[in-house]
Amino acid sequence: MKVAVVFDTPYVDWEHEDFVRQAQKGVEEAEYEIVAALLERGHDVRMVGVRDDLARLLERLRSFAPDMVFNCAEGYHQDTGLDYLFPALFEADGYRYTGSPPLALLTTRNKAMSKKVLAFHGITVPGFATYRLDETVSRAPELRFPLIVKPLQEDASLGISGASMVWDATALAERVAFVHERFTQPAIAEEFVDGRELYVGLIGNGDDVTVLPIVEMVFDKRRTKPEERIATRLAKWDAGYRERKGIRNIFARPIARATKARLSEICRTAYRALWLRDYARLDVRLAADGEIWVIEANANPFISYGHDLANAAEKVGMSYGAFIERILHEAVKRYGRQA
């Protein structure tokens, strides 16, 4: 199959051969790992990196005429909020592609909108309030403190730190103002849910959706308070901080069979409700009383080798190459059903 791997890049006017040379130097990027996996499976692969020229992207796709576009683009002009542009362009120009459609990317990126959709489908989500750029906090919302204040439309825990946890209206007002100024976007304040931090990967479509083994972010309770056990940017990505606080990502500790079955059903429902396709990840909190809270969804999760989603696939016998091939195969099947 002819597969174009499309991704965002800081490099201007690089062609396929430029990326090949960089990959051969041992540079580790998710798109290079995906390309290597596809090549191992016998596909004819072309790398198409995009920085700031969408017209050039379409020219390269027309020149290569791929059977499928493997969408690895995470943003445009270094703005992750514009990741929906890529599937929109693929659809407008008639290309088949992997991953979720523009609607799913837009809905899941907006933390308030996605929670409303999930709540409509009977899924438990934290109570929340939103503050537009021109809004200030005049009084405490009718929510249970403490609250976590986040940028409304960021992912990868950008804008989430220890200071995001607020305990009163004064601190809430200060943090909302910070989000407005620092990120130039609305803020959302969510009720803090004390519980286990779980990441649930899903792969497939329709009635054939596989729930991958659950990954858990574990916090050393001797080094952290309950309100510190949140997935901040440091907790996710800073190796030194993770070591100091005793934070690890492991396959989830035992979960009661009935709870695990209910968790899988909730995640499948959320996957369908948010128009997710081919693969995605849900961030969930499992409270001590057994209540399952869906915190948010990631329609375009990290699928690099050695990270949570790929590791979960490997746990059920999929090598990295098989994992990437499965994503491609799910997209092919999906388009076959639409024909």
Q: Distance between alpha carbon 74 and the CA centroid of its chain, in Å?
A: 10
How many structural domains are present in the chain?
3
- Alpha-carbon span 28 to 165, nearest angstrom: 34
- Asked if residue 182 and residue 82 are part of one domain, the reply reads no
Which of 97, 112, 136 represents a domain boundary (last residue)? 97
Cβ proximity of 1 and 43 under 8 Å:
yes
- Asked if residue 157 and residue 74 are part of one domain, the reply reads no
- Alpha-carbon span 184 to 189, nearest angstrom: 16
- Asked if residue 329 and residue 199 are part of one domain, the reply reads yes
pLDDT for 111 equals 97
Q: What is the pTM of this model?
A: 0.94
- Asked if residue 89 and residue 173 are part of one domain, the reply reads no
In a domain, 164, yes or no: yes
- From first to last of its 339 residues, the chain has per-residue pLDDT tens of 999 999 999 998 899 999 999 999 988 899 999 999 999 999 999 999 999 999 999 999 999 999 999 999 999 988 889 999 999 999 999 999 999 999 999 999 999 999 999 999 999 999 999 999 989 999 999 999 999 999 999 987 888 989 999 999 999 999 999 999 999 999 999 999 999 999 999 999 998 999 999 999 999 988 888 778 888 888 888 899 899 989 999 999 999 999 999 999 999 999 999 999 999 999 999 999 999 999 999 999 999 999 999 999 999 999 999 999 999 999 999 999 764
In a domain, 69, yes or no: yes
- Asked if residue 316 and residue 206 are part of one domain, the reply reads yes
In a domain, 160, yes or no: yes
Q: What is the pLDDT of residues 22-52, one digit of tens each?
A: 999 988 899 999 999 999 999 999 999 999 9
In a domain, 133, yes or no: yes
- Asked if residue 327 and residue 200 are part of one domain, the reply reads yes
Which residues form the domain of 144? 127-191
- Asked if residue 64 and residue 155 are part of one domain, the reply reads no
- Asked if residue 269 and residue 206 are part of one domain, the reply reads yes
Cβ proximity of 151 and 109 under 8 Å:
no
Q: What is the pLDDT of residues 292-333, one digit of tens each?
A: 999 999 999 999 999 999 999 999 999 999 999 999 999 999
pLDDT for 216 equals 97
In a domain, 112, yes or no: no
- Alpha-carbon span 235 to 248, nearest angstrom: 9
- Asked if residue 207 and residue 144 are part of one domain, the reply reads no
- Asked if residue 199 and residue 302 are part of one domain, the reply reads yes
Q: What distances in angstroms separate CA 312 from CA 81, 191, 205, 210, 280, one per listed residue?
A: 27, 29, 18, 11, 12
- Asked if residue 28 and residue 162 are part of one domain, the reply reads no
Query: Is the preceding peptide bond at 146 cis, omega within 30 degrees of 0?
Result: yes
Burial class (CB in 10 A: 0-12, 13-18, 19+), 200: buried
Residue 296: other Cβ atoms inside 10 A: 22
In a domain, 11, yes or no: yes
Cβ proximity of 191 and 182 under 8 Å:
no
- Asked if residue 169 and residue 52 are part of one domain, the reply reads no
pLDDT for 338 equals 67
In a domain, 307, yes or no: yes
- Alpha-carbon span 267 to 281, nearest angstrom: 9
Residue 127: other Cβ atoms inside 10 A: 15
Cβ proximity of 321 and 41 under 8 Å:
yes
Q: What is the CATH number of the domain that holds 161?
A: 3.30.1490.20
In a domain, 106, yes or no: no
Q: What is the CATH number of the domain that holds 291?
A: 3.30.470.20
